[in-house]
Amino acid sequence: MDIMDLLFGELANFLSHAMIVVMVALMFVISLRLFLDRRKKAYMSMTISLIFVGIHCLLQIYFILSGIHTSIADYSQIMLKIISFVLINMGIYQLYNRTNRKQYTFFYGLIVMGFVVSTLHFIVPNLYSGTDHQVRLLQNIGLELYVFVLIFLCFYMIPPYIGQQMKYQLALTVYFLFQTSQLLNTYVYDNAQPVLILAVNLLPVIYYFLLFMILFERVVELMQAIYNSSITDGLTRLYNRKFFYNRVTQHVQRHLPVYILFSDIDNFKKLNDTQGHQMGDNVLKQVAQIMKDEAEECGIAGRYGGEEMVILVSDPSVKMDAFAERIRSRIEKETIVTASIGYSKYKNGLSAEELIKQADEAMYRAKTTGKNKVVKFA
């Protein structure tokens, strides 16, 4: 095998497109699976766009292997490049946004404009009487320059509305360098500049690898979001009762010296009745944030139900009297409500349910003996 052909010849071009096909196939499987599971337009658009990208790459491989170099082959390749580029960027936009008629008009309008520009392909032979090679170059110059317009439009209009902005802009920068290298090599150096040939073969692989990473990380984000929603309370963002109970069980089974703090907002029903549920929700969020802040370095906080919030303290160095009093004081000072708090310490033989119940009983004593106080389970 000739090393020059591997780096700069037809073999390099073939290997480049073969690697892209593999990455596109992986992206297609991921996107199709997401669409079948979630039935969202974003995944359908991404799947369709990847079909066009795949067709584009497979046609290029076919033309390379068969040695076809005709005007209509060049035209079909660049039109597929434009269509696939627009669709895959629309798919990335839809991964993070709902798409309305305005966005569809914008993206499909870019494709329609590509067909308008492509009319030059058929007009040039009637206006220019140079050699066949010169005519073929001029036929597609309008479409090649239009690709730059698409790159700049996507670069400035899409990133503000998606996550992974830097990675997306890097991908478009790589594609810009690829398109520039391709034009320089074709129109200035007549496909004879080794450095540009290497860039034309390598940069598309990097571009599609970055797109693959964007899609993959978006899937990870979605999985993380689904997992978080299954273990947290939607309003307060504290851990939900099931997750909290499971964590307490894990610690109890290992006989770890943990504490449970159980709090209940005083007169919460009266607050809801007099100031409305919106105010009640705001207070719950404020109290939850205090609980989360205080538990951050020594345990986890959860919403046990209604206005009841709990903390599992797993750091044995914490002085629970001071810790619980600090929470009570912050709630009194930083919100419009007060809280009754009880806490209990794990002892051998206790189950998770019994430990939590003891803290609940201590809180109940605080509630029935004056409220806005801290009581230790005795």
**Per-residue pLDDT, 127:** 63
Boundary residue ending a domain (231, 251, 278): 231
Single-letter code of the amino acid located at 189: Y
Single-letter code of the amino acid located at 326: R
Number of domains in the chain: 2
Dump pLDDT digits (tens) for 300-353: 999 998 899 999 999 989 999 999 999 999 999 999 999 999 999 999 989 999
Boundary residue ending a domain (207, 231, 255): 231
Q: Does residue 262 sit in the same domain as residue 370?
A: yes
Question: Two tokens at 331?
Answer: 């709630």
Dump pLDDT digits (tens) for 179-212: 999 889 888 887 778 888 888 889 999 999 999 9
The residue to which tokens 């095998």 are assigned:
1
- List the domain range (segments joined by +) for residue 255: 241-376
Q: Does residue 160 sit in the same domain as residue 271?
A: no
List, in order, residues 6 or more apart from 53 with CB less than 8 Å away. 20, 24, 84, 88, 208
Q: Does residue 216 sit in the same domain as residue 267?
A: no
Give me the CATH number covering residue 322.
3.30.70.270
Single-letter code of the amino acid located at 170: L
Residue 118 has pLDDT above 70, yes or no: yes
Dump pLDDT digits (tens) for 41-67: 777 888 888 888 888 888 878 877 776
**Per-residue pLDDT, 1:** 47
Q: Does residue 59 sit in the same domain as residue 201?
A: yes
**Per-residue pLDDT, 282:** 94
Q: Does residue 190 sit in the same domain as residue 280?
A: no
In order, the DSSP letters of 114-125 are HHHHTHHHHHHH
Q: What are the contacts of 45-50 at 24+ separation with CB within 8 A? A: 45/87, 45/90, 45/91, 45/94, 45/99, 46/88, 46/91, 46/92, 46/94, 46/95, 46/215, 48/87, 48/91, 49/84, 49/87, 49/88, 49/90, 49/91, 50/24, 50/88, 50/91
Going from the C-alpha of 77 to that of each of 68, 83, 162, the distances in angstroms are 12, 10, 29
Q: Does residue 251 sit in the same domain as residue 343?
A: yes
> Is 142 inside a domain boundary?
yes
Q: Does residue 308 sit in the same domain as residue 181?
A: no
Q: How many CB atoms lie within 10 A of CB 131?
A: 9
Q: What is the DSSP letter of 239?
A: B
Sign of the CA dihedral running 197, 200, 201, 203: positive
CA distance 359 to 378: 10
> Is 335 inside a domain boundary?
yes
| 12 in Cβ contact with 200 (< 8 Å) | no
Confidence of residue 281 (pLDDT cuts 50, 70, 90): very high
| 40 in Cβ contact with 231 (< 8 Å) | no
CA distance 172 to 167: 9
Boundary residue ending a domain (172, 196, 231): 231
Give me the CATH number covering residue 12.
1.20.1070
Q: Does residue 254 sit in the same domain as residue 213?
A: no
Q: Does residue 225 sit in the same domain as residue 248?
A: no
Mean pLDDT of the chain: 87
Q: Does residue 285 sit in the same domain as residue 328?
A: yes
Global pTM reads: 0.72
Q: What is the DSSP letter of 159?
A: G
> Is 236 inside a domain boundary?
no
